[in-house]
Amino acid sequence: MDSADFLTVDVFDRPPGGRLRWRRRANSELNRGIRGLRAATVNYSNNATYSLAPRLVPGGCTLVAAWDSPAAAEAAFGGRLRALIEGAGRFSLDGQMVRVKVSEEGDRWHGWLPCAEGAEPLVADEPMVAIVHGVLRRGHLLRFVRNNMHAASRAAHHPGHRGSVDISSQLPFEHTSISLWKTYALAQEFAYKPGGHATALKHALKNKTHRAGVFLQVRPLAVSGSLGIDVRPFPGLPPANRAGL
């Protein structure tokens, strides 16, 4: 693999055909193999990154996929995956993997080690998508939920925050957040400035609360819809390419 992953994210509050049927169909199609697909995860969608009262039973679904190229993704969405993304109210993002960091060597996202080979680093005024995947150790769930709610509140009021969602394919100990930021500089400010997120991060590192961690920076290339807030996240970008949908 000598090129960065081309990443697609598709989020539904109400997936076409219903949550359970959608997940079964998505997993069935992915398990058959798709040309140009490097990795994919089929997830439940929650709202814990932008609400102080996350749903106990997530009603939405999210497909995250890594591809060899934009052309491979377009062919799949115009073919076997088309029925999965035809529903209304979809948020879609296309992006380029820019940076990959893991907590420990060998950490993966369900077997997937994302690739950022050859990608240019983000600069301060570029928009950014941050993806943080983790698997909690038992005994740390309640403290994590409390810290996450505090960080969510801080993110919702941050001037750089452009929307976010929490997803998981294996509740309750696996969690992944996808957050959109106006600029890379503002995302870094939120992450490390004293307050909600920095406090949660310090606690997680000090107490080794996770048994796996994968941290990704993505350059958004195209976007359709909004994610959790009624604001188009990146108005300067074209619509995400879903083969005409």
Q: Which domain holds residue 218?
A: 6-224
| Residue at 113 is within a domain | yes
Mean pLDDT, rounded, for 4-27? 93
Q: Within 10 A of 41 (CB to CB), how many other CB atoms are there?
A: 22
Q: Which residue has the higher pLDDT, 135 or 208?
A: 135
CATH number at residue 208: 3.30.70.100
CA distance 168 to 19: 13
| Residue at 14 is within a domain | yes
Q: What is the pLDDT of residues 81-90, one digit of tens each?
A: 999 999 888 9
| Residue at 239 is within a domain | no
Give 90's strand partners: 12
Q: 148 — phi, psi (to 5°)?
A: -65, -40
CA distance 63 to 28: 13
- Entry pTM: 0.86
pLDDT of 105 reads: 86
CA distance 43 to 236: 28
| Residue at 29 is within a domain | yes
Helix axes 141-156, 196-207, angle to 10 degrees: 160
| Residue at 231 is within a domain | no
pLDDT of 52 reads: 46
Using the predicted structure, report yes or no on whether residue 9 has a pLDDT greater than 60.
yes
Q: Which residue has the higher pLDDT, 233 or 105?
A: 233
How many domains does the chain contain in total? 1
| Residue at 111 is within a domain | yes
| Residue at 241 is within a domain | no
Q: What is the pLDDT of residues 39-78, one digit of tens each?
A: 999 998 875 454 444 455 556 899 999 999 999 999 999 9
Q: In the chain, what percentage of residues exceed pLDDT 90?
A: 50
Mean pLDDT, rounded, for 185-189? 90
CA distance 66 to 244: 20
Mean pLDDT, rounded, for 191-206? 57
pLDDT of 155 reads: 60
Using the predicted structure, report yes or no on whether residue 149 has a pLDDT greater than 70.
no
Q: Helices (DSSP H) in 113-176: which residue ranges? A: 141-156
Using the predicted structure, report yes or no on whether residue 138 has a pLDDT greater than 80.
no
> Residues 105, 212: contact at Cβ < 8 Å?
no
pLDDT of 54 reads: 47
Residue 102 contacts by C-beta under 8 Å, 6 or more apart in sequence?
108, 113, 213, 214, 215
> Residues 106, 128: contact at Cβ < 8 Å?
no
What pLDDT band is residue 158 in, cutting at 50, 70 and 90? low
Mean pLDDT, rounded, for 31-41? 96
| Residue at 105 is within a domain | yes
pLDDT of 135 reads: 76
pLDDT of 224 reads: 96
CB-based burial label for 117 (10 Å; 0-12, 13-18, 19+):
exposed
